[in-house]
Chain A
Amino acid sequence: MTLLLAGCDGPLSTLAPAGPAAGDIALLWWGMLIGSAAITLLVGVLLALSFGPPRVRPVRYWTHGWGLGFSLAVLTTVLVAGLWIGERILPRDDGAVEVRAHAYQWGWRFAQPNAEGETVQTDGVLYIPAGRPVDVIVTAEDVIHAFWVPQLAGKVDAIPGRRNLLRIEADRPGTHDGLCAEFCGLGHATMRFELVAYGVDAPPDALADAPAAEEYADD
């Protein structure tokens, strides 16, 4: 078991969550994995049984019973689970911290509040307070990119002309890796960034020294 979990570790692993959204989704994944394994096994058993002597079942047993009934039951269950979790991880109006992630070929420019509440700009590193919900406004300069910190939450695309919102939250202070997930040309593989979650009482020096953030057209 520990070996298994160790295999799931890694700075970009969705299976080593460090925030509520990623945690919920990881749970969803494990649930779906168990269900899928069971279904695969079940189909295997049904197939194996077919190699015995012919067995007559009414057509509806297969098409309606298994085909409609069984599949609808399974699908409804996952769908409801998905909608429920989807609801939990959405941004909502709760006075969350707002930060900006602006993607360009090939790098990230961030804007976030410092200890004085001024919005300051950093390159390649995003600072957020730990233990508090943060809404990331994701925008793009040139082509489509995508903002993703796997240990905290899912991804959202950075699309020219649009402003997308993603809710993230880090449980504890620490650093997490982030990357561009949408293919964006030659520098796509190296378009990484770092996310630093700091304790609310210990804002990092880097923020105090950072320059004020530039204005964006859509602000």
Chain B
Amino acid sequence: MTDAYIGTATGTRATTDEIKSDAPQRALGLHRELDRTWANDPGWRGQISAVNHTTLGLRFMGTALVFFAIGGILAMLIRTQLATPEGAFLDTEIYNQIFTMHGSIMMFLFAIPMLEGLAIYMLPKILGTRDLAFPRLTALGYWCYLFGGLILLFALLGGVAPREGWFMYTPLSGATYSPGINADVWLLGVTFVEISALAAAVEITVTILRQRAPGMKLTEMPLFAWYMLGTSVMMLVGFPPLILASVLLEIERAFGWPFFEVARGGDPLLWQHLFWLFGHPEVYIIFLPAAGALSTIIPVMCRTTILGYGAIVAAIVALVFLSFGLWVHHMFTVGIPHMALAFFSAASVLVAVPTAVQVFAWIGTMWKGRPDMHLPMYHIMGFFLTFVMGGLTGVMLAIVPFNWQAHDTHFVVAHLHYVLIGGFVFPMMAAAAYWMPQITGRARIKGLGEAAFWTILIGFHGTFFLMHLTGLLGMPRRIDVYPDNPEWIWLNLTSSIFGFVMTIGFALFALDLVLQAWLGPRSPRDPWRAPGLDWAMRLPPPSYNFASLPGPGRLDGGAQAAQGLARGEGLLPGAPRGRREVLVTGVGSARPELIAILPGNTALPLGLACAIGAFVLMMLSGLYWLTLPALALVAALIWVWARGMAQGHDAAPVEVAPGLSLPVHIHRHDTLGRTGTVCLLLADGTLFAALLFGVGFLSVVAPGWPPPELTGDPKLGAGLIAGLVGGLGLGAIAVRLGLRAQGNGGAVLPAAAVAFIANLAALACLIWLAVAVLDDPTRHARDALRGVLAGYAGLHALIAAGMAGYALDQARRGEIAGTRAGCMPAWRLWQDFAAVTALIAGAILIAQGSGA
């Protein structure tokens, strides 16, 4: 009986070229059927409950543009202040808030969300699927981004914005030198926004790995997907160190546990290492998606194919790895040993190689084809000019002696804007010009875009080119007055004037977008004759993207493929079952494996984001006890979230194409959810690794060690740690027994119950440890780190207990039965992870106790 749900023989073994076409149907009928299932709710409710990637992608990008405008206005305030040596326009306190907010907004509220929005909007279309893997998560990410951003904005309006610079160096950002909530606003607000980065990273990774159209092999997928895969993996590994650093600093500020304070065994350099461990990859996280857009657009503009696909993929992989090995080049002046300087200098220089490979592959593509000067090409030329110069000053800064002179001057300000505006803003403007017809279904109004381009290009270089010289003449960054240096006046004045020219350019650009969306004439279906699947649909795109999904033979048809797909000749046509169905394929080969049913419209993401927001606001107001009910609400909503996808009944296999039926995801272990859990644990594991780095770093490098003697009873401590690890380990065994029982048709309830109790026991041991053995965490950094290690293990044990409890509930409801494993595959991953990290954390706690 249950076998029928595991997938028919044809389903699991189908090689992609055997898939047959469906018979054509009436396109309009299919459209109605699909739209009923996939469209957002009507009216204002639809805005709240939308989970659709097209809606949310646009919303991300639109919001990011608003933040870009706000960041731009702040930039104009900065330039106004610096236009004259004794600008009395802003006082120093406000000036400090403004440049801090300019940098933070541009990095965290403009660039990152912009690229997330582009990926969220584009990827399902480019890969040939109907939505991202976790639509509710997309919505949650958006609300977290919006609310976190609003917290920062309100702080700015209220005059309590962060003012320590966008990298928030300790001890300046610590409680002693930054009393008040300014720094907390940054730490909490940015971390709130980072939830959306992690959410997007998980989704993007899973979607690229598991939702490519059948036959779109990993090694042949469009380059944009490769770039986004590189980006999302970097986000999974890059953001955790920043999140850890922010959490530690917030704990130091709120509860006095020292991590960065020298007098009690901390070290301000730990902050810098953790920040730049994120901060350097961040630059590539911003650049890679832009490069992905370039690799997509350049061949189309030159009516050819990309040159050197393999070399570009190799370059992306190299960048992902290399970019985690260079963070120290932001710290060349902190007094690093001489050999380390040479090593990181060489590594930083080396990272230019994969970048050069890409640049020359693009130039080679242009040689191979016939470039047409359409608007996107203008911006691409702007990119080449600006980015090459920014890359070259980057190489200069990687050379240590020169870095010692240029570091923290306006030379660096010029360099970073050449890279960010050259390497991100110009490509994004090219992408906008290229994809606006796809997004709006309208062609642009001729002339305005070109005018905007020239104004921006001239304004940009006018502002920033001479700024290199300003820096070499000794002007440090982050100063508001320079009364003793008349030699800088003409340089700054020039920068300020051209800054306003650039602003006019951006205003023209925005106007162009608005006019195109509002008044533009209808665009032909394939304005660029591009081959991608993103054009194989009606414009503007319908809520479900494809009426039937592309498969082998239809992967590079561009707009020509649209008709057949709209008539249902592809895979999984229509929505005859009234469910949001997508095809899940294998990681490497893109063989069809199963059908995932995605959740529909819901306001739950908004509710959860509000609950997290309540937690953040309670932390900000210092009402620490009130964070507990907020956290309870978060936990309850996550439970409801999970329940929303629970299934109490078997689901029949779904016919994907004639002769090919696939099982529905609830009958399989290798679901999207499981792949997502793996991604999440990758991020979590990185956070843990960053924490271990912190323990190692402070023990070896920090002044103010050795710490005072531990006072707890080491025997009791070892026993309790054994209890913690043993309990989690028992849970890991129980979850396996449960899975085996489910496979054999046995009862899962006992195993889940055992695991639940074992996890609670582990938690009890941990609480006992914290109360009876661990020393006061405010005493010394060592004790604070012990507290954090224990807290990390405790949080994971608590969540493991929650998952066991959830499994117990599912077993009781009969949702884990037959071939339906419910939450168990994901829980097993978590339980193993919790047990292993607790073992490592416990070993460290014991080793510290024995004086090792």
Q: Chain A interface (Cβ within 8 Å of chain B)?
A: 7-15, 21-22, 24-25, 28-29, 32, 36, 39-40, 43-44, 46-47, 49-51, 53-57, 59, 61-64, 66-68, 70-72, 75, 78-79, 81-83, 85-86, 89-90, 105, 142-144, 146, 148, 150, 153-157, 159-162, 164-165, 177, 179-186, 188-190, 192
Residue in contact with B360 in the complex, picked from A63, A90, A153, A188, CB distance below 8 Å: A63
Question: B837: CB under 8 A from chain A?
Answer: no
For B357, what are the chain A residues with a Cβ–Cβ distance below 8 Å?
Answer: 63, 67-68, 71
For A70, what are the chain B residues with a Cβ–Cβ distance below 8 Å?
Answer: 356, 360
Give the distance in Å from the alpha carbon of A8 to the alpha carbon of B385 in the complex.
25
Asked if B704 contacts A49 (CB within 8 A), the reply is no
Give the distance in Å from the alpha carbon of A65 to the alpha carbon of B395 in the complex.
20
Residue in contact with A67 in the complex, picked from B360, B385, B487, CB distance below 8 Å: B360
Residue in contact with A155 in the complex, picked from B366, B408, B702, CB distance below 8 Å: B408
How many inter-chain contacts with C-beta < 8 Å in the A-B complex?
A: 248
Interface string of B312-349 (1 = CB under 8 A from A): 00010000000000000000011100100110011001
Q: Least Cβ distance of B365 to chain A in Å?
A: 8
In this complex, the interface size class of chain B, counting residues with CB under 8 Å from chain A, is 35 or more
Question: B625: CB under 8 A from chain A?
Answer: no
Asked if A155 contacts B92 (CB within 8 A), the reply is no
Complex interface: stretch among B202-210, B435-443, B474-482, B556-564: B474-482
Give the distance in Å from the alpha carbon of A100 to the alpha carbon of B170 in the complex.
23
Residue in contact with A14 in the complex, picked from B400, B405, B481, CB distance below 8 Å: B405
Q: Which one of A28, A43, A51, A153 has the highest number of Cβ atoms from chain B below 10 Å of its Cβ?
A: A43
Asked if B381 contacts A47 (CB within 8 A), the reply is yes
Closest 9 CB pairs of A and B: A154-B404, A12-B474, A62-B364, A67-B357, A82-B399, A161-B262, A50-B366, A189-B479, A71-B356
For A189, what are the chain B residues with a Cβ–Cβ distance below 8 Å?
Answer: 92, 479-482
Q: 29 A-B pairs, CB-CB below 8 angstroms?
A: A10-B473, A13-B472, A14-B472, A44-B385, A47-B363, A50-B302, A55-B368, A56-B367, A56-B368, A59-B308, A62-B361, A63-B361, A66-B360, A67-B315, A67-B360, A67-B361, A82-B400, A143-B171, A144-B171, A154-B407, A160-B268, A161-B268, A162-B335, A177-B474, A179-B476, A181-B409, A183-B165, A184-B172, A189-B92
Residues of B283-333 at the interface with A, using a CB-CB cut-off of 8 Å, are 302, 304, 307-308, 311, 315, 333
Give the distance in Å from the alpha carbon of A165 to the alpha carbon of B334 in the complex.
10
For A55, what are the chain B residues with a Cβ–Cβ distance below 8 Å?
Answer: 367-368
Residue in contact with B477 in the complex, picked from A32, A71, A183, CB distance below 8 Å: A183
- Chain B, residue nearest A105 (CB): B177
Give the distance in Å from the alpha carbon of A23 to the alpha carbon of B272 in the complex.
30
Interface string of B85-114 (1 = CB under 8 A from A): 000000011001000000000000000000
Give the distance in Å from the alpha carbon of A47 to the alpha carbon of B484 in the complex.
44
For B262, what are the chain A residues with a Cβ–Cβ distance below 8 Å?
Answer: 160-161
Residue in contact with B169 in the complex, picked from A7, A46, A144, CB distance below 8 Å: A144
Asked if A67 contacts B268 (CB within 8 A), the reply is no
Q: Knowing A79-B399, A86-B342, A188-B478, say if A63 contacts B311 (CB, 8 Å).
A: yes
Give the distance in Å from the alpha carbon of A50 to the alpha carbon of B362 in the complex.
10
Asked if B474 contacts A10 (CB within 8 A), the reply is yes
Residues of B721-746 at the interface with A, using a CB-CB cut-off of 8 Å, are none
Interface string of B382-395 (1 = CB under 8 A from A): 00110011001101
Residues of B539-592 at the interface with A, using a CB-CB cut-off of 8 Å, are none
Question: B352: CB under 8 A from chain A?
Answer: yes
For A162, what are the chain B residues with a Cβ–Cβ distance below 8 Å?
Answer: 269, 335, 703
- Chain B, residue nearest A187 (CB): B92
Q: Knowing A62-B360, A155-B408, say if A36 contacts B479 (CB, 8 Å).
A: no
- Chain A, residue nearest B411 (CB): A14
Residue in contact with A159 in the complex, picked from B335, B405, B485, CB distance below 8 Å: B335
Asked if A28 contacts B401 (CB within 8 A), the reply is yes
Residue in contact with B346 in the complex, picked from A32, A79, A153, CB distance below 8 Å: A79
Residue in contact with A86 in the complex, picked from B172, B352, B401, B407, CB distance below 8 Å: B401
Give the distance in Å from the alpha carbon of A126 to the alpha carbon of B93 in the complex.
29
